[in-house]
Amino acid sequence: MTNFKIPKEKIAGKVTEVVIGATSDQGGTRSHTITIGGSTALPFLFFEGDFPHPPVIAMEVFDKPPAKYPDVLLEYYRDVIGKPGEMAKKCVELYGAELISIRLEGTHPEKGNKSVEEAVEIVKQVLTSVEVPIIISGHSFFEKINEVMKKVCEVTAGENCLINYVENDNYKTIAAACIAYKHTLVAQTPIDVNLAKQLNILLIEMNFPEDKIVMDPLTGTLGYGLEYTYSIIERIRNDCLAGDKLLGFPMLINPGYESFKIKETRVSAQEYPQWGDPELRAAYWETATAMSLLAAGAELLILYHPRSVETVKQKIREMFASGNGE
């Protein structure tokens, strides 16, 4: 009889631990902070590593109701979609969101052109409505978003928000504001390991604190590039554990934002009867995106559909209760 010994990989690196939010004795107004990262092995492999912090789920509210917000989601948010503070409350209290992302896409000149002041008002509204750590999510109209983020960073100084995001072509202004007001930052790159490293290097070169960086490798949703995101995340995580410190940061993904732009979560059963019930389809599509990227290594997931949130949270809890193999 051949004896079997469980094969354990040699690990030479780990994921940094990043704290989001700040309590009153830390200068903020959150009831608690959330820490992500810290893993010393591939996702959920408890037999060969430590996982001090489980992946977490955020939900997103909007400064302006998105023009194309689908009916399947309006079923849940119709009463609050125009009131980000109330929507945040609903997401936290009813649907279990562990963080709230405030998407300030309305400040984009072509999507509402909301002013910096308006954006600040909305952020304050949400901050007073919920006590969970906050993510501030922007867009890629550089001139405007830099203005918005600069002011938001200043106004929320002490809260240690997660500022989402900077990119290779636009990072200095927002990163500087994060340093000045002590926020955490998302470094977003277009599904490319080298570009991801490059952005991290640029940030570190301007003395950005290494324990305040979160990576966003850009999420392709199911059917629209998922496998690219999946493999990039796996490659980044493998490189990190092999010792590459420049890729050793926790990762954020956007199944919500990406899944609800596409046909598959929006069309009616009449248009595409073969695709099944629209409510189920919407939830399943986002859940499948989330679960697969969780398997790859994502630590912070921004989800939209309450059913996906519930399902994915439950699975994370279940897996963290699993202990070792066998």
Binding site for other proteins (CB under 8 A): 1-4, 6-7, 9, 42-47, 68, 110, 220, 222-228, 230-231, 234-235, 238, 261-264, 274-277, 280-281, 283-285, 287-288, 291-292, 294-296, 307-308, 310-312, 314-315, 318-326
Q: How far is the CB of 213 from other proteins (least distance, A)?
A: 23
Query: What whole-number distance in Å separates Cα of residue 320 and Cα of residue 265?
Result: 30
Helix (H) or strand (E) holding 256: helix 255-259
Q: How far is the CB of 117 from other proteins (least distance, A)?
A: 24
Query: What whole-number distance in Å separates Cα of residue 104 and Cα of residue 112?
Result: 10
- Judged by beta carbon, residue 38 or residue 225, the one nearer other proteins is 225
Q: How far is the CB of 61 from other proteins (least distance, A)?
A: 21
- Judged by beta carbon, residue 19 or residue 196, the one nearer other proteins is 196
- Judged by beta carbon, residue 28 or residue 220, the one nearer other proteins is 220
Q: How far is the CB of 305 from other proteins (least distance, A)?
A: 10
Query: What whole-number distance in Å separates Cα of residue 198 and Cα of residue 184?
Result: 18
C-alpha dist (Å) from residue 24 to 21, 181, 227: 10, 16, 42
Would you state the structure tokens that stand for residue 310, as one six-digit string?
Answer: 């519930």
CB contact burial 242-258 (16+ within 10 A = b; e otherwise): eeeebbbbbbbbbbbbb
- Judged by beta carbon, residue 44 or residue 62, the one nearer other proteins is 44
**With contact defined as beta carbons under 8 Å apart, do 16 and 248 qualify?**
yes
- Judged by beta carbon, residue 62 or residue 230, the one nearer other proteins is 230
Q: How far is the CB of 308 from other proteins (least distance, A)?
A: 8
Query: What whole-number distance in Å separates Cα of residue 287 and Cα of residue 307?
Result: 8
- Judged by beta carbon, residue 201 or residue 280, the one nearer other proteins is 280
Q: How far is the CB of 155 from other proteins (least distance, A)?
A: 28
**With contact defined as beta carbons under 8 Å apart, do 153 and 183 qualify?**
yes
DSSP 10: -
- Judged by beta carbon, residue 144 or residue 183, the one nearer other proteins is 144
Helix, strand, coil share (%) of the chain residues, nearest 5: 45, 15, 40
Q: How far is the CB of 25 from other proteins (least distance, A)?
A: 35
Burial of 198 (0-12, 13-18, 19+ CB in 10 A): middle
